[in-house]
Amino acid sequence: SGSEHAHLQLFISPIASNGVNSFKMVNGYIHTGLTDGSDVTQTDLLWRNEGHKATMSCSHTKGSSYYQMYWYRQLPGEGMRQIVYTTPSPPHLYESGFGEDKFPATRSDAQTGSLTVEKLLPEDSGVYYCACLNVCNTTWTPKCQSG
């Protein structure tokens, strides 16, 4: 199909005044696992405390032509928003409202990457998506066009 993706649900527990963190789960709120593209693997579920960081990994077995990796976030009750576009060679391109200080992304190679959310706040809780795109399906890539 030219692109494959997976997603992760991230929960952030607020710091409790008594120093004990409690997790509250609403029925139907957890969404885990692969939604599309059996060749893309992503961390399924993370629980983290406020103020800490969460690192999500993503990898695929589609081959090196799928070297474009995108990270998206969907907060409860909102639409999906792109965080960053990455390739194995930085710099990565961040969308407005997102930055490398809060959302550092890394790429090991064409098939592996990660996204970290630093200094977690309860409002960072949501579904995080990783999508990998086949550059040969883009019209602006001359090397993929046949003569």
Q: Who wins on pLDDT, 75 or 105? A: 105
What residue ranges do the domains of the chain occupy?
3-144
- Residue 103 carries which DSSP code? S
> Strand (E) positions, 27-134?
40-42, 45-49, 54-60, 68-74, 80-86, 93-94, 105-109, 112-117, 126-133
pTM listed for this prediction: 0.70
Among 4-18, 27-41, 49-63, 68-82, the range scoring the smallest mean pLDDT is: 27-41
pLDDT of residue 46: 77
Rounded distance between C-alpha atoms, residue 117 and residue 75, angstroms: 14
If you average pLDDT over residues 88-111, what whole number do you get?
Answer: 94
pLDDT digits (tens, 9 = 90+) for 77-88: 898 899 999 999
Confidence class for position 119, pLDDT limits 50, 70, 90: very high
> What phi, psi does 133 have (nearest 5°)?
-115, 140
CATH class of the domain defined by 3-144 = mainly beta
**Closest CA relative to residue 103, chosen from 121, 90, 84:** 84
List Cα–Cα distances, 23 to 13, 48, 89, in angstroms: 6, 10, 38
Q: Who wins on pLDDT, 36 or 57? A: 57
Residues 28, 49, 46: CA angle, nearest 5 degrees: 45
Q: Who wins on pLDDT, 147 or 10? A: 10
pLDDT for residue 139 is more than 70: no
**Sign of the CA dihedral running 73, 127, 80, 61:** positive
If you average pLDDT over residues 111-134, what whole number do you get?
Answer: 88
